[in-house]
Chain A
Amino acid sequence: MSALSFDNVTVRLGAQNAITDVSFAAERGLVALVGPNGSGKTTLLRAACGLTPLQAGAVTLDGGAIAAMPPRQRGRTIAYLPQERRAAWPMSGRALVALGRHPFAGPMRRESEMDRAAIERGLDAADANGFADRNVDTLSGGERVRILLARAFAVEAPVLLADEPTAALDPAHQLSVLQALQDQAGRGTLVLTALHDLSLAARFASRIIVMDQGRIAADGAPDEALSDKILERVFGVRRQNGDLELA
């Protein structure tokens, strides 16, 4: 079990703070990161895997600063699924998934038995076996996300960060992607994922962190974090007969 911890973290992008004085710790489960556009979700995830320099504070994993980790070790410990879904080249799904093993590659870059097994487990966990041998250019948006998810699973890191994995997917794919993430969390991986859809977050996450203008506005179990007060203050909406309406 790995404990990811943010201690008073501030990240500045240009002249503005993207996140300000953020503190939280997480060690298990599916943690959803929600908040309006520009509230700092992506920046928080990038800070969690050491992709962005911190203005202040520290991000640590099991007590060690992520910024001080050698890149390969960090790559083995924290898997990151960014929002970018375009593959630069028309590679096969399986070849993309195999890139998840990059932090483990030896100097000759031969795929080991362990790599192959991890790739298969990743494909299984993301339910992406059926189209793994196809060129990614020919895959639908949902299939492509599942391939990229399998790529992130194939790292087999104790921490998985996912940035809006369900954006622009149809409802069935949204559910299957979140189910896969929840299952992964069930296997002991800490999954921290930014989500737009509050009802999906409430349904699948064991804990929700609400971001607002770069700060944590609420943090707790779903019904606690997404209280009527927070919905109205942060998102400008309120519950009405089970649906969300403009406040």
Chain B
Amino acid sequence: MNAEVKATLGFAALAAILFVAALGFGAYPMGPVGAVAALFGAGGDEAVAIAREIRFPRALLGALVGGALGAAGAGLQGYFRNPLADPGIVGVTSSASLGAVIALYFGLGFDIVPLAAMGGGALGVIALFAVAGRGASALTLILAGVAVAAFANALTALALNMAPNPWALSEIAYWLMGSLRDANARDMMITGPLIIAGIAVLLTQRGALDALSLGEDAAASLGVNVPRTRLIVVIGATLAVGASVAAAGAIGFIGLVAPHLARPFVGHAPGKAILPAAFLGAALLNAADIGVRALSGFGTPIYLGVLTALVGAPFFFWLIRSNRARTA
């Protein structure tokens, strides 16, 4: 068994454990075993309803969103050849958030929010390539992503600024913090396939991403079509991240941390890290969501995006410091 298969299976097992743990954790007391039993109809109507309609969609959404962020982060870090790249770097997170915020601003209702977020993400990636141009270098693409994100964030701030009433304001502000609370089967029908499609698209480029470790010229000389790889990676990341923002809002740092932790298990090959990073992302996000639920027991609910940022940002500091030694 090679390292990639081992790492994938290992992190898949971890994701499964945290999935079951997330099923079993919450205000209504039923352990992981009880929750799984309730999913299959045992333990009384109340337990069955909670397990099937609240816990299961929430844990499944956690796994899907975490998987999307982990895979997108791994793909983008591989393409940019930079461990500091995050799915937010190409502006998708911000533009998808803007789409959702516009829907909330105009009170279009929660049915429209996911669609608006995906539309925003798609417009963001079109703007990205319009700004950067087709033959853009990695650096130009990053700068274009920063510009797209800055503009989307400015418009999001404008929407907050101009919010018609305190209700809309708080709705937008809370939505931006990211949460799995509103997980439901219907949203999952839209976001699930898109996330899986996005991860599958990213996986088609794993060999090309490994070859890119040698630099763009060497990769091109080995038969990698670098502009095509760039386009496919950005589209795959946009599908996965756009759909995850649509379902759960902007959740930072999972996409940065998961690939970084997964990569050593596959000998640091960036393409081989995509699937392990997806499973690790799924595990981390459900772990964070368990943390959110545990902390919410103490009063004011903490939002998922707030927790991942609180834990993830110090990790980012550490990553920059350790990377400084490597590139010095």
Q: Which A residues lie at the B interface, using CB under 8 A?
A: 46, 49, 51, 70-76, 78-82, 84, 86-92, 95-96, 99-100, 102-103, 105, 109, 137, 148, 151, 155
Q: For A111, give the chain B residue with the smallest CB separation.
A: B2
Contact A102 B269 (CB under 8 A): no
Q: A152 → chain B, closest Cβ, in Å?
A: 9
Contact B217 A76 (CB under 8 A): no
Q: For B268, give the chain A residue with the smallest CB separation.
A: A89
Contact A155 B222 (CB under 8 A): yes
Chain B residue contacts of A86, Cβ below 8 A: 215
Could you say which of B212, B218, B224 contacts A82, with CB atoms under 8 Å apart? B218
Contact B326 A90 (CB under 8 A): yes
- Per-position contact with A for B177-220: 1 when CB-CB < 8 Å, else 0? 00000000000000000000000000000110011111101111
Q: For A90, give the chain B residue with the smallest CB separation.
A: B268
8 A-B pairs with CB atoms under 8 Å apart are A71-B225, A75-B223, A79-B221, A80-B218, A91-B213, A91-B268, A95-B267, A96-B214
Q: If A82-B217, A87-B214 touch, does A99 touch B222 (CB 8 Å cutoff)?
A: yes
Contact B222 A103 (CB under 8 A): yes
Chain B residue contacts of A155, Cβ below 8 A: 222
Contact B217 A89 (CB under 8 A): no
Q: A190 → chain B, closest Cβ, in Å?
A: 15
Docked complex Cα distance between A148 and B220 (Å) = 15
Contact B81 A80 (CB under 8 A): no
Contact B267 A88 (CB under 8 A): no
Docked complex Cα distance between A155 and B219 (Å) = 12
Contact B217 A80 (CB under 8 A): yes
Q: If A87-B214, A88-B212, A90-B326 touch, does A72 touch B223 (CB 8 Å cutoff)?
A: yes
Q: If A87-B213, A89-B268 touch, does A137 touch B326 (CB 8 Å cutoff)?
A: yes
Q: For B214, give the chain A residue with the smallest CB separation.
A: A99
Q: A88 → chain B, closest Cβ, in Å?
A: 4
Interface centre among B268, B269, B326 (most CB of A within 10 A): B268
Q: For A79, give the chain B residue with the smallest CB separation.
A: B221
Q: Is B24 among interface residues, defined by CB-CB distance under 8 A? A: no
- Per-position contact with A for B222-245: 1 when CB-CB < 8 Å, else 0? 111100000000000000000000
Q: Is B58 among interface residues, defined by CB-CB distance under 8 A? A: no
Chain A residue contacts of B219, Cβ below 8 A: 102
Contact B263 A89 (CB under 8 A): yes
Q: If A89-B269, A95-B267 touch, does A74 touch B213 (CB 8 Å cutoff)?
A: no
Q: Is B270 among interface residues, defined by CB-CB distance under 8 A? A: yes
Q: If A95-B269, A100-B222, A103-B223 touch, does A88 touch B217 (CB 8 Å cutoff)?
A: no
Q: A213 → chain B, closest Cβ, in Å?
A: 23
Q: Which B residues lie at the A interface, using CB under 8 A?
A: 81-82, 206-207, 210-215, 217-225, 263, 267-270, 326
Chain A residue contacts of B81, Cβ below 8 A: 88-89
Contact A71 B217 (CB under 8 A): no
Contact B222 A89 (CB under 8 A): no
Could you say which of A49, A99, A100, A105 contacts B213, with CB atoms under 8 Å apart? A99
Chain A residue contacts of B222, Cβ below 8 A: 75, 99-100, 102-103, 155
Q: B259 → chain A, closest Cβ, in Å?
A: 11
Contact B223 A102 (CB under 8 A): yes
Chain B residue contacts of A92, Cβ below 8 A: 267
Chain B residue contacts of A105, Cβ below 8 A: 207
Q: B142 → chain A, closest Cβ, in Å?
A: 15
Contact A89 B213 (CB under 8 A): yes
Interface centre among A49, A51, A89, A105 (most CB of B within 10 A): A89
Chain A residue contacts of B218, Cβ below 8 A: 80-82, 84, 151
Docked complex Cα distance between A99 and B214 (Å) = 8
Chain B residue contacts of A70, Cβ below 8 A: 223
Could you say which of B212, B214, B223, B268 contacts A71, with CB atoms under 8 Å apart? B223
Docked complex Cα distance between A72 and B206 (Å) = 16
Could you say which of B211, B221, B268 contacts A51, with CB atoms under 8 Å apart? B221
10 closest residue pairs by CB, A with B: A75-B223, A88-B81, A80-B221, A72-B223, A89-B268, A71-B223, A84-B215, A102-B222, A82-B217, A103-B223
Q: A51 → chain B, closest Cβ, in Å?
A: 5
Chain A residue contacts of B82, Cβ below 8 A: 88
Contact B220 A51 (CB under 8 A): yes
Chain B residue contacts of A73, Cβ below 8 A: 223
Q: A85 → chain B, closest Cβ, in Å?
A: 9
Q: B209 → chain A, closest Cβ, in Å?
A: 10
Interface centre among B214, B267, B268, B269 (most CB of A within 10 A): B214
List 15 other contacts, CB 8 Å, given A74-B223, A79-B221, A88-B81: A46-B217, A75-B224, A82-B215, A88-B215, A90-B268, A90-B326, A95-B268, A96-B213, A96-B214, A99-B210, A102-B211, A103-B222, A105-B207, A151-B214, A151-B218
Docked complex Cα distance between A99 and B206 (Å) = 12
